[in-house]
Amino acid sequence: MSGFVDEAQIHVKAGDGGAGAVSFRREAHVSRGGPDGGDGGSGGDVWMVASHNQASLLGFRDHPHRAATSGVHGQGKKKHGASGSDIEVPVPVGTVVRSADGVVLADLASPGDRWLAAHGGRGGHGNARFLSNRRRAPAFAEQGEKGEESWFDMELRLVADVALVGLPNAGKSTLISVISAARPKIADYPFTTLEPHLGVVRVGRSGSETEIVVADVPGLVEGAADGRGLGHRFLRHVERARVLVILIDLAAVDGVAPAEQERILLNELGRYQPELLERPRVVVGSKTDVIGAGDDGDTDGHDGDTGGYHTEFQISAVTGDGITALLGRLATLVVEARAAEIAPSSTVVVHRPLPEGIEVVREADGSFMVLGRPALRAVALSDLTDDQAVAYVQERLRRLGVERALVRAGARDGDVVHLGALTFTYESDAGGLDATAAVSSGSRRGPHKGRERGRKTGGGGGGS
């Protein structure tokens, strides 16, 4: 079974917020103690962190679930609940996170890059928070918010200084096994390498040596840019390489001439991603031990009987001919490429759009759905049968601009409006919320999922 996995899914669940408490002071000689319900703690967040300690996505194949802890409920005597603990999910450097519909959400390309995959729910306020001159004894509190929960697709694109690119059985695995401690499977048949391998190579004298990371990319075939032979899965591991080594099999045992091999490889790279042809590259002929050494016996990698085809370097991974000269050239190119790069930002670029404020959606049955975290939090109270709680909801929704959004969406008196677990009747004279209908129906609904949506109208800004 393969030990390298470059595609996987992850399910993240942030912690739920704790509920606020409804409590009143109960002490000797205090006949009417005020509200003293504490707040609930916030749920923990789920972070994805790029780490060199992870080499592949193997750990997510059979165990994709990652969850943070929830916040603790508030208590009387203004005791606030503890917040849940955040968790960090280490992933390999070069991991790209996508939504279920394929949208790129984050690219963790550098060690230490962090991305907030799931935000913990905020804890609910206790009834002590709702004390005012008009509400001397509030008998309601807020429920905690649910933590975010999602499935994401992950894709690993190796981060290497040098990528070895060649047709199957060109000698890439043998080369990386000679120049580094990597030990890929080696055999004399096509597609020996079904997964990429990384090797660390040190070039130069001890104390002043240059360390480069070399990737052995599985062999490409003609049509790889169109996905043939798992082409896309193989080619993506070339995207981040600073230098490309185009490895040509000079022995041509399968009948493909060296010049034709080079044409195929460059054509596939250009079709997959045109900018790859602008990367520094070295064309290297391999297997000089098979075709015979040059007449003058030089071992600088520039001679050999190649049928008129010439490359910058010609090597033999078996005898070691030309390896030293090649590594020196690669080290020089890598150092130049590193110096030319712009210093990476410490902040990950997140592709996911920022949360919106209030949104009103016209449903297929003519009712209206109010969406938006501020509005959902406004109705997340423990007891919506309490007159003071209903009055508070009316005031809060009015401040958030829900009434204006409903009017712009075309709501008329008597229309049904859904807001989270609450269903109420729109009444313009009641500020958008018919308190009587909301209290008497007590309708509870689950979160909106997959229903047909029509016209959308933005509303007032966020805020909590």
- What kind of fold does domain 1-156 have according to CATH? Spo0b-associated Gtp-binding Protein; Chain: A, (2.70.210)
Q: What is the dihedral of CA 169, 283, 161, 290, to 10 degrees?
A: 40
pTM: 0.69
How large is the C-alpha radius of gyration of the chain?
32
Nearby residues of 12 by Cβ (< 8 Å), 6 or more positions away: 46, 66, 67, 89, 117, 118, 148, 149, 150, 152
pLDDT in tens, 257-296: 888 889 988 888 888 888 889 999 999 998 888 776 443 3
Give strand pairing partners of 212.
201
What pLDDT shows up at residue 448? 39
| Residue limits of CATH 2.70.210.12 in the chain | 1-156
What pLDDT shows up at residue 205? 79
What pLDDT shows up at residue 64? 95
| Residue limits of CATH 3.40.50.300 in the chain | 162-340
What pLDDT shows up at residue 435? 46
What pLDDT shows up at residue 290? 79
What pLDDT shows up at residue 173? 83
410 and 419 in contact (C-beta within 8 Å)? no
What pLDDT shows up at residue 454? 36
Residues of the chain with pLDDT under 70: 1-4, 181-195, 219-234, 252-254, 292-308, 342-356, 429-464
What pLDDT shows up at residue 16? 96
| Residue limits of CATH 3.30.300.350 in the chain | 359-458
Among the listed residues 351, 349, 346, the one whose alpha carbon sits nearest the alpha carbon of residue 152: 351
What pLDDT shows up at residue 198? 77
What pLDDT shows up at residue 308? 67
What pLDDT shows up at residue 2? 46
The architecture CATH gives domain 162-340? 3-Layer(aba) Sandwich (3.40)
The architecture CATH gives domain 359-458? 2-Layer Sandwich (3.30)
What pLDDT shows up at residue 432? 56
Joined tokens for residue 371: 């969406």
- The three-class DSSP label of residue 324 is helix
Give the separation between CA 379 and CA 396, rounded to whole angstroms.
9
